[in-house]
């Protein structure tokens, strides 16, 4: 089985499972019925086609006309779930959009409504107590890892600026910016003074 078919199958099955679990998501899906949105992941050079009907079909290739084309980096995907971020992402050149922006917003709204209840699904197989314990343990572990990463980033930033002196500190940058502003002001005064002297001659 080609990797593209596997990826599109996993994405399609996952999204349709989440859509079927939520009546509100079904209403959002109905608004997109008959539309096709392509999403290109820049780093991979791969495009997924989201075809909306009674359900959501995810394809690796599509011959018909696409209503809206999105191109973005993998790191931007989580931000696509926030409908309010779309305009900011476009302005920051993190998201390329060709087509109907309203369609992209509806797609974003559909994605933002997909909130899987992992604990509920897991409880069907393990029971409520075990599912709750596993999910809480996973959340605690994830929080621990995130705090560790943040701490390492702070330590690295401190080493780069304080010990190795590879990058200036925030105060040094602010002081330099102030000095540049002072020079700009002095040059503007000098320019004005020279113009006054030239007018007198």
Please give the Cα distance from 167 to 195 (Å, whole number): 40
Q: 30 with 47: CB under 8 angstroms?
A: no
Please give the Cα distance from 198 to 201 (Å, whole number): 5
pLDDT, residue 71, reads 92
pLDDT, residue 43, reads 83
pLDDT, residue 117, reads 67
The enclosing H or E element of 128 equals helix 128-158
pLDDT, residue 49, reads 94
Beta strand pairing call for 46-52 and 68-72: unpaired
Please give the Cα distance from 105 to 65 (Å, whole number): 19
pLDDT, residue 69, reads 94
Query: Any idea what the Cα angle at residue 20 is, between residues 22 and 80, rounded to 5°?
Result: 70
Q: Is the dihedral of CA 44, 118, 59, 87 positive or negative?
A: negative
pLDDT, residue 3, reads 59
Strand order, beta sheet including 68-72? 56-59, 46-52, 36-41, 68-72, 95-99
CB-based contacts of 83, cutoff 8 Å, min separation 6: 105, 108, 109, 112
Please give the Cα distance from 97 to 80 (Å, whole number): 12
pLDDT, residue 56, reads 92
The one-digit pLDDT tens for each residue of the chain (201 residues) are 455 788 888 888 888 888 887 778 888 888 899 999 999 988 888 899 999 998 999 999 999 899 999 998 888 877 777 767 788 888 888 888 999 888 988 888 888 877 766 677 777 788 888 877 887 888 888 888 888 888 988 888 888 877 787 778 778 888 888 999 999 998 889 888 888 888 887
């Amino acid at each position: 089985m080609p990797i593209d078919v596997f990826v599109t199958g996993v994405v399609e099955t996952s999204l349709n499972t989440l859509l079927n679990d939520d009546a509100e998501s079904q209403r959002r899906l109905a608004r997109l019925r008959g539309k096709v949105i392509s999403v290109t992941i820049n780093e991979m050079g791969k495009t997924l086609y989201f075809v909306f009907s009674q359900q959501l079909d995810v394809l690796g290739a599509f011959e018909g006309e696409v209503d809206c084309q999105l191109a973005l980096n993998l790191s931007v995907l989580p931000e696509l779930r926030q409908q309010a971020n779309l305009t900011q992402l476009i302005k920051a050149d993190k998201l390329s959009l060709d087509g109907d922006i309203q369609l992209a917003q509806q797609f974003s709204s559909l994605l933002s409504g997909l909130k899987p209840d992992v604990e509920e699904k897991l409880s069907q197989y393990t029971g409520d107590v075990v599912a709750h314990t596993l999910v809480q343990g996973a959340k605690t572990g994830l929080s621990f890892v995130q705090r560790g990463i943040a701490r390492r980033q702070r330590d690295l930033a401190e080493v780069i600026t304080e010990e190795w002196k590879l990058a200036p500190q925030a105060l040094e940058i602010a002081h330099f910016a102030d000095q540049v502003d002072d020079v700009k002001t002095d040059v503007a005064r000098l320019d004005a003074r020279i113009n006054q002297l030239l007018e007198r001659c």
